[in-house]
């Protein structure tokens, strides 16, 4: 049986993620909810160059949240929109829908709301859902254990329009026990999709661990992987590292 997916967000990244879901033979993109009314009533598949009808587009302002998620039930919601969207799909979990959130940054209130949803359904949260960047995080943890006295700096590079600090960089800093205000260096230039580098400085050598997303399709592929994985999980909060079975001493 194909995995039915609802997608929040249809901007640069969201539309690329939608295309990856449509191309995935084991998935069906049932609908997309976006803030804008652009393309409302149309199908994402047509907009993305496919002939068949898939991914009906809805505007958030025109759906009835009390009935939408019951009438349009899906196995999993993938969220690539904005942090505030967590307040919009709270009714979905009542019908067994699981959540995969790839939002870069939540404030405390929004994150508490996401945790609340995990008490009713399975929720996977990852500010960067690509396979590669989660490997970078785990490799960095291992190297830190080997060289605990090394100086560590995090460099994150993104397109010039991105305003906030990378949620992935913040996650790396937290996992390595670093002060995010002192150890994250941000670069905004051109159209860089996303690059993260962890630099370990030792007395006679420097070690760099680097991950770069060359195409936003990597986010879609990671989200699909996470969505398939979470279908076998009970309610609770999960991380991408668990889905990849990379966390040391932790069973996926």
Q: How is residue 182 written in tokens?
A: 């002192």
Strand partners, 135: none
CA 134, distance to chain mean position in Å, is 11
* List 158, 183, 196, 211, catalytic entry: 158
Query: Is 158 a known active-site residue?
Result: yes
**DSSP 3-state of 157:** strand
* 173/246 Cα distance (integer angstroms): 18
The answer to whether 50 is a known catalytic residue is: no
Considering the candidates 30, 162, 195, 233, report the single residue annotated as catalytic.
162
124 and 134 in contact (C-beta within 8 Å)? Answer: no
Catalytic residue ranges: 158, 162
């Amino acid at each position: 049986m194909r995995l039915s997916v609802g997608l929040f967000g249809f901007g640069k990244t969201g539309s690329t993620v939608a295309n990856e879901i449509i191309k995935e033979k084991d998935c069906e993109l049932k609908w997309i909810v976006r803030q804008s009314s652009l393309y409302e009533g149309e199908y994402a598949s047509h907009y993305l160059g496919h002939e068949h009808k898939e991914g009906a587009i809805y505007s958030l302002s025109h759906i009835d949240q009390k009935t939408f998620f019951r009438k349009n039930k899906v196995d999993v919601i993938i969220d690539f929109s904005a942090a505030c969207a967590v307040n919009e799909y709270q009714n979905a979990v009542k019908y067994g829908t699981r959540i995969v959130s790839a939002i870069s940054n939540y404030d405390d209130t929004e994150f508490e709301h996401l945790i609340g949803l995990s008490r009713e359904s399975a929720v996977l949260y990852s500010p960067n859902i690509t396979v590669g960047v989660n490997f970078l995080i785990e490799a960095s943890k291992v190297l830190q254990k080997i060289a605990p006295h090394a100086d560590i700096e995090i460099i994150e590079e993104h397109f010039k329009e991105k305003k906030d600090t990378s949620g992935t960089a913040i996650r790396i800093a937290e996992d390595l026990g670093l002060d995010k205000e002192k150890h994250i260096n941000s670069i905004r230039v051109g159209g860089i999709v996303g690059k993260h580098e962890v630099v370990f400085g030792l007395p006679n050598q420097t070690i760099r661990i680097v991950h770069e997303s060359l195409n936003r399709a990597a986010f879609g592929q990671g989200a699909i992987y996470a969505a398939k994985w979470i279908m076998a999980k009970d309610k609770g909060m999960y991380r991408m590292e668990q889905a990849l079975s990379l966390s040391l001493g932790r069973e996926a």
